[in-house]
Structure 1
Amino acid sequence: MELSRSIEDLRMGCVAPFFNEKAFPSTGGFVNGRLCSNLTGASCCLPCPLTDWVYPDNFKTATQSADWVNVVGMVGCAFLLLSWIVLPVERTHRHYLSICLTVAVVFMNLGFIIPLAGKPEQCFNEITPHGQDSSTICAASGAFLLLGGWGGVLWVFLRALSLHLQICWQMVVGRNYMWFSQALGWGIPIVGLVLLLIFSGVSFRFGQTCHINHENSLADFWIPLLIFAGLTVIIQFATFGYCIKVYLASLADGNQSTENTGGPSYSNSIRTMTPRQAYRRVRRVVQLQWRGIVIVLIIIADVIFFAIIFVFLDNTVQDIKTDPNKAKTWIACLGMTRGDKHACLDLAQPLVVGLPTVTAVLVLLAMNGLWLLLILGRWSMVTGWVEWFAALGSSRNKEFVSVDARMDLKNDPRSYEIAMSPMSPVSAGRKTPDYFGHTAPYHPHQRSFSTPRAPNNVRFEMMDAYQSHPEPPAATYASTNSSGYADMNPLGMNSLRDQEDARYSPSNYSPNKGPGHVFI
């Protein structure tokens, strides 16, 4: 009975379910979030939260289902980020544009996951919703949602701009563009978030997640957000138009001489390319960037859809507050039925966005993490994790072996006695060494920069020759060829060492011949 008397005191002449605004303090919570009307003479306010009176009972179930989809998307984004951090780049093909976009989507997911875990109270009192000043969960969820929305739009814009510069203007986006992207992609969202929290604020207006308030929201959030989203759409479709133009030009190109020529490099001018070369270059870039193109289209469509729906919902609620006559029939229905919302839901539908549309918006926003996982994720990431855990397990289970058993053969000095030089002849028959292979080392000659150098053992043979002959040979070993290897046939000898042995052997040196004459 005490409770009923207190409720009647709060009504103060207002019919159920409304409460008199004078019965509540003017501070605490988000006071401007009250929905009040003076149609009955007193300022009577609808109980908080508003969504409980304009939507059916399954509204909470729909919003919580969308929040759980955010949890699944968060897991997918965490898998991508861990893979980019731990696994090598050949397994993940990571790029800063993909990493930063994923981080922005993580912030957006946190805006829905934090209320799901905290289960906050949406109302400060019977008619006043909580705001950022009265609820830390509201402040955190709203800040993450706004930061993620700003970051997602900015990073898809930068990705679309990067692709446009590569395809249409033949520019190589390098380190300068990376620093420009970091400054723009995170600078604007951080500054924008500070301005939003100061001039607009967030409160519980639409389910368990705090959204931006109506005051100054168009100027400091929705209009700038839609401007960048529109620029992204324009740039993306301009890139598509250029690709179509290049493809049609390649079909009309009758120059067969360019059919098998390689694609031009980025240093060439775009005016010097034939249509076929331009088409091959564009096709190659699109094949490499198709994942980014798809994710840009998906996220920008979600953001524009959410912005339009929420702006319409916000303006509708604001119109009811400024002009209660628009909701006169619905308010009268609630008064006559003593708060039976089910009997008045049909009258409330023209005032709000339909539940199917709201559910679609929330689910599409929640699925951004899943789209990132499906599009940016690769099967090589899975195999990379399998190999990483296998290597981690093998390192833990590695048995102890002695130092002598672990000694590498090539580090043992005694192994040089049996090591075979790639330039020495093999013992099993006469074979031609692979002078043109990739594994044979190239040793430049001591007195020439264009010929191989003789092995080290030739020096000792030459010293023996010098000791047996008092007069050393001249600096020029052969006068028949500038390289010193006249008439050398790699296919008709065992190795270069044989040539050097024959060149500098004492039997081929004759002091009577004079210096500079060496016979082979």
Structure 2
Amino acid sequence: MALNGHCPSPFLQESLFPTTGGFTDGRYCETLTNVSCCLPCPLADWRYADNTSKRVDVASWISVAILPLCIFLLVSYAALPVKWTNRHYLSICFTLGICCMEIAFIIPLGARPEQCYNAITPNDMYTDLSCAFSGAFLLFGGWLVVIWSFIRTLAFHLQVCWEKVLGPKFMWGAFLCGFGIPIIGITVMMIITGVSFRFGEICHINIDHGAQDYWYPIIAFAAAALILQLTTMAYCMHIYLRSLFDKSASTTENSSGIPSYTASVRTVTARQAYRRVKRVLQLQWRGVALVLIIIGNVIFFAVVFINLDREVDPTPENMKKALPWLLCLMETGGNKNKCEKYASALGPNEATLLAVVYLLSLVGFWNFILFARPSMFVGWLDLFRRGMSRRHEYVSADVTRYNDSKGFEMLTTTTIKTPDTYNMRSPSPAHMMGRSPVASPSPTFDRNVHFGQEARYVRPSMSFSGPRPPSSSAGGRDWDPSATFAQGYGHGHAHGHAR
């Protein structure tokens, strides 16, 4: 080939390519016979097997299946009442970070980017738009997941160990740090370090300053979260053991659950602390489990990628270490299968890198398993049922065809003027007592007729009275008007005329 120049196959002469365009620092070149010779791009195709890129695509398809699960959680948090979801801003923000990571894996499936700018130079965020978006989403999502893991661990530690009630100040501080630190971090990384194609069709952070801008801060927050988590769990074990070996446990609480006065102050405090810690663990064990999974994954990712950067960086020490592999490629004319035994000494193996990619894409799966409560599905079912019931609540237009008021009764409790057919003559009280009225006939009242169930009397818990049935005294008289200041119809009224 003309591009080989003075370099043996499969190497290409660097001076035959432009010095600008693409990520020139990502070239893998070595001086051979006083000429700078470079391996063709992409480098991963020479280091690993031929089907490695297809295996990396599996992680992208895993993200396609998991992203709807994360979106389901976010929509449930937004649409359903809190009694169904037990939503919390810590869980919501954590899920947002996972969604960013899943989107980073899905972008290459639609864009199908070209990894190389030319035969020896990989593309970067300036020469490929999909590289910029996939790298930014991946790194920003990683920042969000780690920072919110640390905040969740800090909240759990303050609640359990220091008995702090987390109020609005902690919430706004969490928002400020949870989004402010990732925004500052991603801005610094994209400006100073940048991203490029290094392994597969997803862009990763570059080698130069990558450890200082991304990996070391990530490890610092993850290590702090791990220390807080272990400290909190050690405190929980301490409280549990104190209550377990409490010899006066039988006298600490009586049957009503109230601490007895005979128990010591230390015993009561230990038992109360155990019950409080137990309640907190029952409420937050999902978050604790997810944080432990994330911290373990982050530490594993950081160690693998830092090792990869250290081995791939074209320093004199690394080039001396890679010389047997490069000489084998020259002798075999570029047959990488025959040189596989020499390549195994350069950086992590294929299985380790694939494990990193798969674990990254599976973070959303663990988030769904731990935070998708069965009550969410009950809440959606209840929401659909209420929506369907509202849809069927209507008044038929056929009712207006019938204007005969005698055939229908209006069942209402509002005060309206009824037709004359519903006017009723109220009987006089004298007639109700079984006597003939002496004065003029009782007046006529226009009253509404209400049909319904008879109201039941519910006796209050502290009441000693209740409704009594009417007495069956002689003559049907159950009260004496003369015993009160009320005027009576009949007898009382007749005495008034007699005077």
Matches within 5 A, 1:191-210: 191-210=184-203
Q: Which residue of 2 aligns with 1:244?
A: 237
Residues 433 and 38 of structure 1, relative CA distance in 2, 3 Å threshold: closer
Deviations 1:406-444 (A, max 9, x none): 98734465778557896xxx7xxxxx741239xxxxxxx
Q: d(CA) in 2 for partners of 1:505 and 1:150?
A: 87
Q: d(CA) in 2 for partners of 1:212 and 1:243?
A: 39
Residues 209 and 433 of structure 1, relative CA distance in 2, 3 Å threshold: closer
Cα distance, 1:307 vs structure 2 = 0.8
Q: d(CA) in 2 for partners of 1:190 and 1:22?
A: 39
Q: Does 1:489 align with 2:464?
A: yes
Q: Which residue of 2 aligns with 1:75?
A: 68
Q: Which residue of 2 aligns with 1:213?
A: 206
Contact 2:74 2:92 in 1 (8 A): yes
Q: Which residue of 1 aligns with 2:483?
A: 507
Q: Which residue of 2 aligns with 1:328?
A: 323
Q: Which residue of 2 aligns with 1:375?
A: 370
Between 287-296 and 213-222, report the one with greater CA deviation: 213-222
Deviations 1:220-264 (A, max 9, x none): 211111110001000101110010000011012215343246599
Q: d(CA) in 2 for partners of 1:220 and 1:406?
A: 79
Q: Which residue of 1 aligns with 2:306?
A: 311
Q: Which residue of 1 aligns with 2:36?
A: 43
Q: Which residue of 2 aligns with 1:106?
A: 99
Give the alignment partner of residue 176 of structure 2, picking from 168, 180, 183. Answer: 183
Which amino acid in structure 2 is aligned with residue 171 of structure 1? K
Which amino acid in structure 2 is aligned with residue 145 of structure 1? L
Give the alignment partner of residue 258 of structure 1, picking from 248, 252, 262. Answer: 252
Q: Which residue of 1 aligns with 2:460?
A: 435
Q: d(CA) in 2 for partners of 1:406 and 1:417?
A: 10
Which amino acid in structure 2 is aligned with residue 345 of structure 1? E
Contact 1:131 1:138 in 2 (8 A): yes
Q: d(CA) in 2 for partners of 1:227 and 1:504?
A: 91
What SS is found at the alignment partner of 1:351? coil
Deviations 1:190-234 (A, max 9, x none): 010000011111000111110011111122211111110001000
Contact 1:72 1:370 in 2 (8 A): no
Matches within 5 A, 1:138-153: 138-153=131-146
Residues 287 and 503 of structure 1, relative CA distance in 2, 3 Å threshold: farther
Q: d(CA) in 2 for partners of 1:152 and 1:360?
A: 19
Residues 418 and 192 of structure 1, relative CA distance in 2, 3 Å threshold: same
Contact 1:48 1:128 in 2 (8 A): yes
Contact 2:161 2:232 in 1 (8 A): yes
Cα distance, 1:400 vs structure 2 = 4.0
Contact 1:320 1:327 in 2 (8 A): no
Contact 1:74 1:109 in 2 (8 A): yes
Cα RMSD after superposing both structures: 2.9
Matches within 5 A, 1:85-164: 85-164=78-157
Residues 189 and 509 of structure 1, relative CA distance in 2, 3 Å threshold: same
Residues 494 and 117 of structure 1, relative CA distance in 2, 3 Å threshold: farther
Which amino acid in structure 2 is aligned with residue 507 of structure 1? A
Which amino acid in structure 1 is aligned with residue 412 of structure 2? L
Give the alignment partner of residue 24 of structure 1, picking from 17, 30, 41. Answer: 17
Which amino acid in structure 2 is aligned with residue 98 of structure 1? S
Cα distance, 1:39 vs structure 2 = 3.0
Which amino acid in structure 1 is aligned with residue 374 of structure 2? W
Which amino acid in structure 1 is aligned with residue 300 of structure 2? F
Q: d(CA) in 1 for partners of 2:365 and 2:137?
A: 18
Cα distance, 1:386 vs structure 2 = 2.7
Give the alignment partner of residue 272 of structure 2, picking from 271, 277, 301. Answer: 277
Matches within 5 A, 1:222-237: 222-237=215-230
Cα distance, 1:169 vs structure 2 = 0.7
Cα distance, 1:378 vs structure 2 = 1.2
Deviations 1:475-513 (A, max 9, x none): xxxxxxxxxxxxx83258579xxxxxx999873359xxx
Deviations 1:441-500 (A, max 9, x none): xxxxxxxxxxxxxxxxxxxxxxxxxxxxxxxxxxxxxxxxxxxxxxx83258579xxxxx
Residues 133 and 272 of structure 1, relative CA distance in 2, 3 Å threshold: farther
Between 321-330 and 373-382, report the one with greater CA deviation: 321-330
Q: Which residue of 2 aligns with 1:409?
A: 412
Contact 1:263 1:280 in 2 (8 A): no
Q: Which residue of 1 aligns with 2:345?
A: 350
Contact 2:240 2:274 in 1 (8 A): yes
Contact 1:13 1:20 in 2 (8 A): yes
Between 282-291 and 353-362, report the one with greater CA deviation: 353-362
Cα distance, 1:29 vs structure 2 = 0.5
Residues 341 and 177 of structure 1, relative CA distance in 2, 3 Å threshold: same
Residues 229 and 493 of structure 1, relative CA distance in 2, 3 Å threshold: same
Contact 2:143 2:218 in 1 (8 A): yes
Q: d(CA) in 2 for partners of 1:127 and 1:493?
A: 102
**Residue segments in structure 1 that go unaligned for 5+ positions in a row:** 1-7, 265-269, 427-431, 438-487, 496-501, 511-520
Which amino acid in structure 1 is aligned with residue 103 of structure 2? L
Cα distance, 1:18 vs structure 2 = 0.8
What SS is found at the alignment partner of 1:490? coil
Q: Which residue of 1 aligns with 2:444?
A: none
Q: Which residue of 2 aligns with 1:450?
A: none
Which amino acid in structure 1 is aligned with residue 61 of structure 2? W
Q: d(CA) in 2 for partners of 1:248 and 1:506?
A: 79
Which amino acid in structure 2 is aligned with residue 354 of structure 1? N
Q: d(CA) in 2 for partners of 1:354 and 1:407?
A: 83
Report how many residues are paired.
434
**Residue segments in structure 2 that go unaligned for 5+ positions in a row:** 260-264, 401-407, 417-446, 471-477, 487-499
Contact 1:56 1:345 in 2 (8 A): no
Cα distance, 1:368 vs structure 2 = 0.7
Which amino acid in structure 2 is aligned with residue 297 of structure 1? L
